[in-house]
Amino acid sequence: MKDQLYNYLLMLGDNSMILGHRLSELCGHGPALETDIALTNISLDLFGQVRGFFRYAAEVKGGEATEDSIAFLRYDREHYNCILVEQANVDFAHVIARQFFFDVFQELQLKQLVESKDEEIAAIAVKSLKETKYHLRFSSEWMKRLGDGTEESHERLQAAVDTLYPFTGEFFHETPLEKEMKENGIGVDLELIKTAFDETVSQIFVEATIKMPESKQRMVKGKYGIHSEQLGFILSDFQYMQRAYPNMEW
């Protein structure tokens, strides 16, 4: 049970960590100063969530594990994030679409985790949920502004949605680990989340004048540790300091 809980905590933290890193890449490159600051602030919140999950994971694992060793010293196959969050920034429309899909999912997931039988997970969820609501407001607003904006912003957002939407199916694929966590009252019911996710996404698509993509959901296995080539580049950047100078501190 201890191992399962540990792996589940990694799964919960990895989405926020990898997306947080993707957003941090935009520091100083946002399309406008305000959006630049907003995206890096969201990145910071995501890393805050990661610290909550990994601090607890280190406690569960015991021994030498720390939140830092968990964050910086795992290999790619030991990461359980969904493939969506590792997708490249490409342009602002991709950044917003990726963020929007994640925020909708994450808000629903955290709402359920607030009720988790595991008190520590519930506490982290209460805290993170407050922040995620702000993120979702931000990304939904931008979905509408870009989708219902100029011809170019509309086209770009539609293209981003067409590319990224097929990755969202992975959120709702229940792994054996998630099934076990659900049955123990620790994890979430992904089926319930999917219904609410579809509803919110279609509603925002309508307001943003974005068409629901016809393409099928991709078969992806990020939750099993099998990733796109993107993750390797992310990790080589993210882990560089700890790998090159082991145990260094800020």
Partner 1 sequence: MVSAQIHIASKEILTALESVSDPEIPVLTVMDLGVVRRVEVVDGLVEVDLTPTYSGCPAMDTMAADITTALNKIGYEVKMKLVMSPAWTTDWISQEGRRKLEEYGVAAPMSEELDLQALMGGKRIVKCTHCQSVNTKMISQFGSTACKALFQCEDCLEPFDYFKCLK
Q: How far is the CB of 166 from partner 1 (least distance, A)?
A: 29
By CB under 8 A, tell whether 119 contacts partner 1: yes
Q: Judge whether 157 and 146 are in contact, CB under 8 Å.
A: yes
Using the minimum distance from each CB to partner 1, give the nearer residue, 35 or 228: 35
By CB under 8 A, tell whether 27 contacts partner 1: no
Helices H / strands E in the chain, number of each: 10, 0
Q: Judge whether 36 and 26 are in contact, CB under 8 Å.
A: yes
Q: Which residues have CB under 8 Å from 159's CB, separation 6+? A: 93
Helices (H), 114-226: 119-147, 151-164, 176-183, 190-207
Task: Name the one range near partner 1 by CB under 8 A: 32-40, 163-171, 196-204, 225-233.
Answer: 32-40
Give the C-alpha separation, 82 to 237, whole Å: 19
Residues 207-246 that bind partner 1 (CB under 8 A): none
By CB under 8 A, tell whether 108 contacts partner 1: no
Q: What are phi and psi of 213, to 5 degrees?
A: -60, 145
Using the minimum distance from each CB to partner 1, give the nearer residue, 124 or 234: 124
Where is 23: in which H helix or E strand?
helix 2-24
Residues 168-207 that bind partner 1 (CB under 8 A): none
Q: How far is the CB of 111 from partner 1 (least distance, A)?
A: 14
Give the C-alpha separation, 225 to 241, whole Å: 23
Q: How far is the CB of 138 from partner 1 (least distance, A)?
A: 6
Number of residues that bind partner 1 (CB under 8 A): 28
Q: Which residues have CB under 8 Å from 111's CB, separation 6+? A: 125, 129
Closest-CA residue to 82 (of 166, 186, 204, 181): 166
**Helix pair angle (92-113, 151-164), 10° resolution:** 50
Using the minimum distance from each CB to partner 1, give the nearer residue, 83 or 124: 124
Residues 123-162 that bind partner 1 (CB under 8 A): 123-124, 126-128, 130-131, 134, 137-138
Task: Name the one range near partner 1 by CB under 8 A: 1-9, 33-41, 150-158, 209-217.
Answer: 33-41
Residues 37-76 that bind partner 1 (CB under 8 A): 37-38, 41-42, 44-49, 51-52, 55
| Contact footprint for partner 1 (CB under 8 A) | 34-35, 37-38, 41-42, 44-49, 51-52, 55, 119-120, 122-124, 126-128, 130-131, 134, 137-138
